[in-house]
Amino acid sequence: MKLTLLLDLDDTLLNTNMHAFIPAYFQALSRELAPYIAPGQMTRALLSGTRQMNESVDFSHSLQEVFDAEFYPQPNISRSDLEPAIENFYDNIFPNLAGLTSQIPEAKRFVDWALSKGYRIAIATDPLFPRKATLHRLRWAGLDPQQFELISSYENFHFSKTHPAYYAEILAFLGWPVGPVLMVGNDLARDILPAKKLGLATYHVNAEPTSSSGPEAGPRGTLDDLRRWLESIDPVSLMPSFKSTDSVMGIISATPAALNGLLNGLDSSSWSRKLSPDEWSLTELVCHLRDSEREIHQIQIKLFNEQSEPFIPRPDTSVWASQRDYLHECGSSALKEFNIARRETLALLKNMTQKDWERKARHAIFGPTIFLEVISFIADHDRMHIQQAWTTLKKM
Protein backbone atom coordinates (compact mmCIF):
# COMPACT_ATOMS: atom_id res chain seq x y z
CA MET A 1 0.00 0.00 0.00
CA LYS A 2 1.38 3.37 -1.05
CA LEU A 3 1.72 6.19 1.43
CA THR A 4 -0.32 9.27 0.51
CA LEU A 5 1.34 12.51 1.60
CA LEU A 6 -0.70 15.68 2.01
CA LEU A 7 1.82 18.54 2.06
CA ASP A 8 1.06 22.07 3.16
CA LEU A 9 2.80 24.76 1.07
CA ASP A 10 3.37 28.06 2.90
CA ASP A 11 5.99 27.84 5.66
CA THR A 12 6.19 24.08 5.10
CA LEU A 13 7.66 23.88 1.58
CA LEU A 14 8.12 27.64 1.06
CA ASN A 15 9.15 30.34 3.54
CA THR A 16 6.31 32.81 3.09
CA ASN A 17 5.76 34.82 6.29
CA MET A 18 2.09 35.51 5.66
CA HIS A 19 2.16 38.55 7.98
CA ALA A 20 4.33 40.34 5.40
CA PHE A 21 3.13 38.59 2.25
CA ILE A 22 -0.62 39.13 2.55
CA PRO A 23 -0.46 42.95 2.99
CA ALA A 24 1.92 43.21 0.02
CA TYR A 25 -0.37 40.96 -2.04
CA PHE A 26 -3.42 43.07 -1.19
CA GLN A 27 -1.58 46.30 -2.02
CA ALA A 28 -0.39 45.00 -5.37
CA LEU A 29 -3.86 43.78 -6.30
CA SER A 30 -5.39 47.08 -5.17
CA ARG A 31 -3.03 49.02 -7.43
CA GLU A 32 -3.81 46.81 -10.41
CA LEU A 33 -7.57 47.12 -9.93
CA ALA A 34 -7.57 50.83 -8.97
CA PRO A 35 -8.99 51.90 -12.37
CA TYR A 36 -12.06 49.79 -11.58
CA ILE A 37 -12.38 49.76 -7.76
CA ALA A 38 -11.26 52.24 -5.12
CA PRO A 39 -8.39 50.64 -3.15
CA GLY A 40 -10.15 50.89 0.21
CA GLN A 41 -13.32 49.33 -1.16
CA MET A 42 -11.30 46.59 -2.89
CA THR A 43 -9.52 45.68 0.36
CA ARG A 44 -12.79 45.55 2.30
CA ALA A 45 -14.40 43.37 -0.37
CA LEU A 46 -11.35 41.09 -0.54
CA LEU A 47 -11.29 40.62 3.24
CA SER A 48 -15.02 40.00 3.32
CA GLY A 49 -14.80 37.44 0.52
CA THR A 50 -11.91 35.67 2.23
CA ARG A 51 -13.85 35.54 5.49
CA GLN A 52 -16.82 33.99 3.71
CA MET A 53 -14.57 31.33 2.15
CA ASN A 54 -13.08 30.48 5.55
CA GLU A 55 -16.51 30.07 7.09
CA SER A 56 -18.31 28.35 4.22
CA VAL A 57 -19.68 24.84 4.74
CA ASP A 58 -21.77 24.92 1.55
CA PHE A 59 -20.77 21.82 -0.41
CA SER A 60 -22.81 22.92 -3.44
CA HIS A 61 -20.69 26.02 -4.14
CA SER A 62 -16.94 26.13 -4.71
CA LEU A 63 -14.92 28.60 -2.67
CA GLN A 64 -14.50 30.69 -5.81
CA GLU A 65 -18.28 30.91 -6.15
CA VAL A 66 -18.57 31.85 -2.46
CA PHE A 67 -15.91 34.53 -2.90
CA ASP A 68 -17.43 35.92 -6.09
CA ALA A 69 -20.89 36.17 -4.52
CA GLU A 70 -19.46 38.27 -1.70
CA PHE A 71 -16.82 40.28 -3.57
CA TYR A 72 -18.37 41.53 -6.82
CA PRO A 73 -21.63 43.03 -5.49
CA GLN A 74 -19.68 45.39 -3.22
CA PRO A 75 -18.05 47.45 -6.02
CA ASN A 76 -21.09 46.67 -8.23
CA ILE A 77 -18.96 45.31 -11.03
CA SER A 78 -19.25 42.03 -12.90
CA ARG A 79 -16.57 39.37 -12.91
CA SER A 80 -16.42 39.46 -16.70
CA ASP A 81 -15.60 43.19 -16.63
CA LEU A 82 -12.80 42.68 -14.12
CA GLU A 83 -11.47 39.34 -15.34
CA PRO A 84 -8.90 40.67 -17.87
CA ALA A 85 -7.25 42.81 -15.18
CA ILE A 86 -7.29 39.92 -12.69
CA GLU A 87 -5.74 37.54 -15.20
CA ASN A 88 -3.07 40.08 -16.02
CA PHE A 89 -2.35 40.51 -12.31
CA TYR A 90 -1.76 36.80 -11.70
CA ASP A 91 0.18 36.38 -14.94
CA ASN A 92 2.44 39.42 -14.67
CA ILE A 93 2.23 41.21 -11.31
CA PHE A 94 1.83 38.47 -8.74
CA PRO A 95 5.16 36.81 -9.76
CA ASN A 96 6.95 39.97 -8.54
CA LEU A 97 6.00 39.01 -4.98
CA ALA A 98 8.43 36.10 -5.11
CA GLY A 99 11.05 38.24 -3.38
CA LEU A 100 8.94 38.21 -0.21
CA THR A 101 9.41 34.43 -0.01
CA SER A 102 12.45 32.17 0.13
CA GLN A 103 13.11 28.55 -0.63
CA ILE A 104 13.44 25.92 2.05
CA PRO A 105 16.48 23.92 0.87
CA GLU A 106 15.24 20.60 2.22
CA ALA A 107 11.81 20.97 0.56
CA LYS A 108 12.87 19.89 -2.91
CA ARG A 109 15.15 17.26 -1.40
CA PHE A 110 12.25 15.81 0.57
CA VAL A 111 9.80 15.89 -2.35
CA ASP A 112 12.29 14.21 -4.69
CA TRP A 113 12.93 11.49 -2.10
CA ALA A 114 9.20 10.96 -1.50
CA LEU A 115 8.55 10.63 -5.23
CA SER A 116 11.43 8.15 -5.54
CA LYS A 117 9.68 6.05 -2.90
CA GLY A 118 6.52 5.97 -5.00
CA TYR A 119 4.45 8.03 -2.56
CA ARG A 120 1.37 9.81 -3.83
CA ILE A 121 1.70 13.53 -3.09
CA ALA A 122 -1.00 16.18 -2.96
CA ILE A 123 -0.38 19.84 -2.18
CA ALA A 124 -2.82 20.50 0.65
CA THR A 125 -2.54 24.28 0.71
CA ASP A 126 -5.44 26.34 2.02
CA PRO A 127 -7.63 26.76 -1.10
CA LEU A 128 -8.16 30.50 -0.66
CA PHE A 129 -6.01 31.46 -3.67
CA PRO A 130 -6.64 31.00 -7.41
CA ARG A 131 -4.81 28.08 -8.97
CA LYS A 132 -2.45 30.39 -10.88
CA ALA A 133 -1.22 31.94 -7.61
CA THR A 134 -0.62 28.53 -6.06
CA LEU A 135 1.33 27.32 -9.10
CA HIS A 136 3.56 30.41 -8.88
CA ARG A 137 4.22 29.74 -5.19
CA LEU A 138 5.17 26.13 -5.90
CA ARG A 139 7.68 27.31 -8.51
CA TRP A 140 9.06 29.84 -6.01
CA ALA A 141 9.67 26.88 -3.71
CA GLY A 142 11.80 25.28 -6.47
CA LEU A 143 9.14 22.66 -7.21
CA ASP A 144 7.47 21.59 -10.44
CA PRO A 145 3.66 21.61 -10.10
CA GLN A 146 3.50 18.68 -12.53
CA GLN A 147 5.11 16.49 -9.86
CA PHE A 148 1.98 16.49 -7.74
CA GLU A 149 -1.15 14.46 -8.21
CA LEU A 150 -3.43 17.15 -6.83
CA ILE A 151 -3.14 20.82 -5.85
CA SER A 152 -6.01 22.38 -3.93
CA SER A 153 -7.25 25.82 -5.00
CA TYR A 154 -10.40 27.87 -4.66
CA GLU A 155 -11.72 26.90 -8.11
CA ASN A 156 -12.35 23.26 -7.21
CA PHE A 157 -12.60 23.05 -3.39
CA HIS A 158 -15.56 23.76 -1.13
CA PHE A 159 -14.00 23.99 2.35
CA SER A 160 -11.04 25.81 3.86
CA LYS A 161 -8.51 24.00 6.04
CA THR A 162 -10.28 25.01 9.25
CA HIS A 163 -12.78 22.20 8.53
CA PRO A 164 -12.10 18.44 8.73
CA ALA A 165 -14.27 18.20 5.60
CA TYR A 166 -11.42 19.84 3.64
CA TYR A 167 -9.24 16.83 4.35
CA ALA A 168 -12.06 14.47 3.41
CA GLU A 169 -12.54 16.38 0.17
CA ILE A 170 -8.88 16.20 -0.81
CA LEU A 171 -8.83 12.45 -0.13
CA ALA A 172 -12.01 12.06 -2.18
CA PHE A 173 -10.35 13.89 -5.10
CA LEU A 174 -7.56 11.29 -4.77
CA GLY A 175 -10.12 8.49 -5.01
CA TRP A 176 -10.12 7.76 -1.26
CA PRO A 177 -6.77 5.91 -1.08
CA VAL A 178 -6.96 2.76 1.03
CA GLY A 179 -3.40 2.89 2.40
CA PRO A 180 -1.61 5.04 4.98
CA VAL A 181 -2.07 8.82 4.86
CA LEU A 182 0.02 11.56 6.47
CA MET A 183 -0.76 15.28 6.65
CA VAL A 184 2.37 17.44 6.93
CA GLY A 185 2.16 21.11 7.86
CA ASN A 186 3.39 23.91 10.07
CA ASP A 187 0.10 25.36 11.36
CA LEU A 188 -1.39 23.58 14.36
CA ALA A 189 -4.82 25.17 13.93
CA ARG A 190 -5.21 24.67 10.16
CA ASP A 191 -2.92 21.78 9.23
CA ILE A 192 -2.70 19.50 12.23
CA LEU A 193 -5.81 19.60 14.41
CA PRO A 194 -8.48 19.49 11.66
CA ALA A 195 -6.63 16.62 9.94
CA LYS A 196 -6.44 14.74 13.23
CA LYS A 197 -10.16 15.31 13.76
CA LEU A 198 -10.78 13.54 10.46
CA GLY A 199 -8.67 10.63 11.71
CA LEU A 200 -5.41 11.24 9.84
CA ALA A 201 -1.86 10.87 11.11
CA THR A 202 -0.02 14.20 11.12
CA TYR A 203 3.51 15.60 11.24
CA HIS A 204 4.09 19.12 12.57
CA VAL A 205 6.87 20.85 10.65
CA ASN A 206 8.96 23.31 12.65
CA ALA A 207 12.63 23.99 13.37
CA GLU A 208 12.85 21.84 16.48
CA PRO A 209 14.14 18.27 16.53
CA THR A 210 11.68 15.41 16.15
CA SER A 211 9.88 14.92 19.41
CA SER A 212 6.43 14.86 20.83
CA SER A 213 4.88 18.21 21.64
CA GLY A 214 1.91 16.59 23.29
CA PRO A 215 -1.03 14.57 22.06
CA GLU A 216 -2.45 17.50 20.07
CA ALA A 217 0.53 18.02 17.77
CA GLY A 218 2.04 14.55 17.56
CA PRO A 219 5.51 14.10 16.02
CA ARG A 220 7.33 17.20 14.83
CA GLY A 221 10.59 18.38 13.32
CA THR A 222 12.13 19.60 10.08
CA LEU A 223 11.54 18.03 6.67
CA ASP A 224 14.86 16.22 7.03
CA ASP A 225 13.63 14.89 10.38
CA LEU A 226 10.41 13.82 8.67
CA ARG A 227 12.31 11.76 6.12
CA ARG A 228 14.26 9.96 8.86
CA TRP A 229 11.05 9.43 10.82
CA LEU A 230 9.26 7.92 7.80
CA GLU A 231 12.20 5.62 7.16
CA SER A 232 12.04 4.36 10.75
CA ILE A 233 8.33 3.70 11.30
CA ASP A 234 5.90 1.02 10.19
CA PRO A 235 3.60 2.62 7.56
CA VAL A 236 0.71 0.70 9.09
CA SER A 237 0.89 3.14 12.00
CA LEU A 238 -0.22 5.87 9.57
CA MET A 239 -3.46 4.16 8.57
CA PRO A 240 -6.36 6.58 9.08
CA SER A 241 -9.30 5.88 11.36
CA PHE A 242 -12.69 7.26 10.36
CA LYS A 243 -14.82 6.21 13.33
CA SER A 244 -15.17 9.43 15.37
CA THR A 245 -18.13 11.81 15.14
CA ASP A 246 -15.88 14.51 13.63
CA SER A 247 -14.52 12.17 10.96
CA VAL A 248 -17.93 10.77 10.01
CA MET A 249 -19.45 14.25 9.75
CA GLY A 250 -16.43 15.45 7.76
CA ILE A 251 -16.77 12.63 5.24
CA ILE A 252 -20.51 12.90 4.70
CA SER A 253 -20.20 16.69 4.32
CA ALA A 254 -17.40 16.33 1.77
CA THR A 255 -18.99 13.62 -0.38
CA PRO A 256 -21.38 15.86 -2.35
CA ALA A 257 -18.64 18.52 -2.59
CA ALA A 258 -16.24 16.02 -4.15
CA LEU A 259 -18.87 14.67 -6.53
CA ASN A 260 -19.75 18.23 -7.58
CA GLY A 261 -16.06 18.78 -8.35
CA LEU A 262 -15.29 15.44 -9.96
CA LEU A 263 -18.38 15.36 -12.17
CA ASN A 264 -18.53 19.03 -13.10
CA GLY A 265 -18.85 19.63 -16.82
CA LEU A 266 -19.41 16.02 -17.88
CA ASP A 267 -21.30 15.58 -21.14
CA SER A 268 -24.31 13.26 -21.36
CA SER A 269 -22.35 10.45 -23.01
CA SER A 270 -19.82 10.42 -20.16
CA TRP A 271 -22.61 10.31 -17.58
CA SER A 272 -24.20 7.26 -19.21
CA ARG A 273 -21.06 5.38 -20.30
CA LYS A 274 -20.69 1.87 -18.86
CA LEU A 275 -17.14 0.54 -18.80
CA SER A 276 -18.50 -3.00 -18.70
CA PRO A 277 -21.98 -4.55 -18.56
CA ASP A 278 -21.54 -5.34 -14.86
CA GLU A 279 -20.42 -1.85 -13.82
CA TRP A 280 -22.62 1.13 -13.10
CA SER A 281 -22.47 4.27 -15.15
CA LEU A 282 -21.94 7.53 -13.28
CA THR A 283 -25.64 8.30 -13.68
CA GLU A 284 -26.59 4.98 -12.06
CA LEU A 285 -24.11 5.55 -9.26
CA VAL A 286 -25.44 9.02 -8.39
CA CYS A 287 -29.06 7.85 -8.61
CA HIS A 288 -28.15 5.06 -6.18
CA LEU A 289 -26.65 7.57 -3.75
CA ARG A 290 -29.70 9.84 -4.04
CA ASP A 291 -32.22 7.09 -3.36
CA SER A 292 -30.12 5.49 -0.62
CA GLU A 293 -30.03 8.86 1.10
CA ARG A 294 -33.77 9.33 0.99
CA GLU A 295 -34.99 5.78 1.51
CA ILE A 296 -32.35 4.29 3.80
CA HIS A 297 -30.12 6.80 5.57
CA GLN A 298 -32.77 9.36 6.48
CA ILE A 299 -35.22 6.66 7.56
CA GLN A 300 -32.55 5.12 9.79
CA ILE A 301 -31.93 8.48 11.49
CA LYS A 302 -35.66 9.03 11.98
CA LEU A 303 -36.00 5.57 13.57
CA PHE A 304 -33.49 6.64 16.21
CA ASN A 305 -35.54 9.77 16.84
CA GLU A 306 -38.77 7.81 17.19
CA GLN A 307 -37.69 4.69 19.12
CA SER A 308 -35.47 3.99 22.13
CA GLU A 309 -33.54 1.02 20.68
CA PRO A 310 -34.70 0.71 17.07
CA PHE A 311 -34.23 -2.14 14.65
CA ILE A 312 -32.32 -0.80 11.64
CA PRO A 313 -33.37 -2.51 8.39
CA ARG A 314 -31.03 -2.71 5.39
CA PRO A 315 -32.91 -3.30 2.11
CA ASP A 316 -31.16 -4.78 -0.89
CA THR A 317 -30.40 -1.80 -3.12
CA SER A 318 -28.39 -3.68 -5.73
CA VAL A 319 -31.52 -4.25 -7.84
CA TRP A 320 -32.63 -0.62 -7.88
CA ALA A 321 -30.52 0.37 -10.90
CA SER A 322 -32.34 -2.06 -13.21
CA GLN A 323 -35.75 -1.90 -11.53
CA ARG A 324 -35.82 1.90 -11.59
CA ASP A 325 -34.05 2.29 -14.93
CA TYR A 326 -31.43 4.66 -13.55
CA LEU A 327 -29.46 4.59 -16.80
CA HIS A 328 -32.07 6.70 -18.56
CA GLU A 329 -32.25 9.42 -15.91
CA CYS A 330 -30.35 12.71 -16.13
CA GLY A 331 -27.13 12.32 -14.15
CA SER A 332 -26.60 16.02 -13.45
CA SER A 333 -30.17 16.36 -12.18
CA ALA A 334 -29.72 13.31 -9.96
CA LEU A 335 -26.58 14.90 -8.50
CA LYS A 336 -28.50 18.07 -7.63
CA GLU A 337 -31.16 15.94 -5.96
CA PHE A 338 -28.47 14.07 -3.99
CA ASN A 339 -27.12 17.43 -2.83
CA ILE A 340 -30.57 18.36 -1.55
CA ALA A 341 -31.05 14.99 0.15
CA ARG A 342 -27.63 15.09 1.83
CA ARG A 343 -28.33 18.62 3.09
CA GLU A 344 -31.52 17.26 4.67
CA THR A 345 -29.53 14.44 6.28
CA LEU A 346 -26.99 16.84 7.74
CA ALA A 347 -29.83 18.97 9.12
CA LEU A 348 -31.16 15.87 10.94
CA LEU A 349 -27.70 15.32 12.46
CA LYS A 350 -26.89 18.94 13.26
CA ASN A 351 -28.14 19.05 16.85
CA MET A 352 -27.24 15.54 17.96
CA THR A 353 -25.69 15.39 21.44
CA GLN A 354 -22.92 13.05 22.54
CA LYS A 355 -25.58 10.99 24.29
CA ASP A 356 -27.53 10.72 21.01
CA TRP A 357 -24.45 9.43 19.18
CA GLU A 358 -24.14 6.65 21.78
CA ARG A 359 -27.74 5.43 21.56
CA LYS A 360 -28.13 1.68 21.01
CA ALA A 361 -29.85 -0.17 18.18
CA ARG A 362 -29.86 -3.51 16.38
CA HIS A 363 -28.79 -3.53 12.76
CA ALA A 364 -30.25 -6.04 10.30
CA ILE A 365 -26.77 -7.03 9.10
CA PHE A 366 -24.32 -6.02 11.83
CA GLY A 367 -26.35 -6.83 14.94
CA PRO A 368 -25.99 -4.75 18.13
CA THR A 369 -24.73 -1.27 17.31
CA ILE A 370 -24.93 2.40 18.26
CA PHE A 371 -26.02 5.51 16.38
CA LEU A 372 -22.44 6.61 15.62
CA GLU A 373 -21.67 3.28 14.00
CA VAL A 374 -24.82 3.44 11.87
CA ILE A 375 -23.82 6.89 10.59
CA SER A 376 -20.27 5.62 10.01
CA PHE A 377 -21.77 3.05 7.64
CA ILE A 378 -23.06 6.00 5.59
CA ALA A 379 -19.53 7.44 5.48
CA ASP A 380 -18.12 4.04 4.45
CA HIS A 381 -20.78 3.80 1.74
CA ASP A 382 -19.81 7.28 0.51
CA ARG A 383 -16.13 6.41 0.36
CA MET A 384 -16.78 3.21 -1.58
CA HIS A 385 -18.82 4.99 -4.25
CA ILE A 386 -16.42 7.92 -4.51
CA GLN A 387 -13.70 5.33 -5.20
CA GLN A 388 -15.96 3.82 -7.85
CA ALA A 389 -16.68 7.21 -9.49
CA TRP A 390 -13.00 8.20 -9.41
CA THR A 391 -11.94 4.90 -11.01
CA THR A 392 -14.60 5.24 -13.69
CA LEU A 393 -13.42 8.75 -14.54
CA LYS A 394 -9.79 7.61 -14.72
CA LYS A 395 -10.70 4.86 -17.19
CA MET A 396 -12.65 7.12 -19.53
The pLDDT score that the predictor gives to residue 318 is 86
pLDDT score, position 211: 43
Looking up residue 312, the CATH number of its domain turns out to be 1.20.120.450
For CA atoms 336, 57, 288, 170, give the dihedral sign. Answer: positive
Q: pLDDT tens digit string along 114-151?
A: 999 999 999 999 999 999 999 999 999 999 999 999 99
Q: Determine, yes or no, domain membership for 156.
A: yes
pLDDT at 226 over 70: yes
Integer CA distances (angstroms), 332 to 21, 94, 120, 195, 266, in order: 40, 37, 30, 31, 8
pLDDT score of 200: 98
Q: Is 254 part of a structural domain of the chain?
A: no
In terms of domains, do 206 and 302 share one? Answer: no
Q: What percent of the chain has pLDDT over 90?
A: 90
Q: Identify the pLDDT of residue 215.
A: 55
Total structural domains within the chain = 2
Q: Write out pLDDT tens, residues 183-220.
A: 999 999 999 999 999 999 999 998 554 444 455 667 99
pLDDT of residue 207: 54
Q: Of the candidates 243, 274, 297, which is a domain's last residue?
A: 243
- Same domain membership, residue 70 and residue 2: yes
* Global pTM value: 0.95
Write down the pLDDT at residue 17. Answer: 86
* Pair (236, 280) in one structural domain: no
Q: How many CB atoms lie within 10 A of CB 323?
A: 9
pLDDT recorded at residue 210 = 44
Residue 289 shares a structural domain with residue 178: no
Per residue in 15-44, pLDDT tens?
Answer: 998 888 999 999 999 999 999 999 999 999
| 52 and 166 part of one domain | yes
pLDDT at residue 212, rounded to an integer: 45
Provide the residue range defining the domain that includes 346: 263-395
Q: What are 244-283's pLDDT values in tens digits?
A: 999 999 999 999 999 999 999 999 999 999 989 889 999 9
| Residue 383 and residue 269 share a domain | yes
Residues 287-341: pLDDT tens digits? 999 999 999 999 999 999 899 999 999 888 989 999 999 999 999 999 999 999 9
> Using one digit for the tens of pLDDT, what is the confidence trace for 55-88?
999 999 999 999 999 999 998 899 999 999 999 9
Q: What is the mean pLDDT of residues 338-350?
A: 97
In a domain, 252, yes or no: no
CATH for 81: 3.40.50.1000
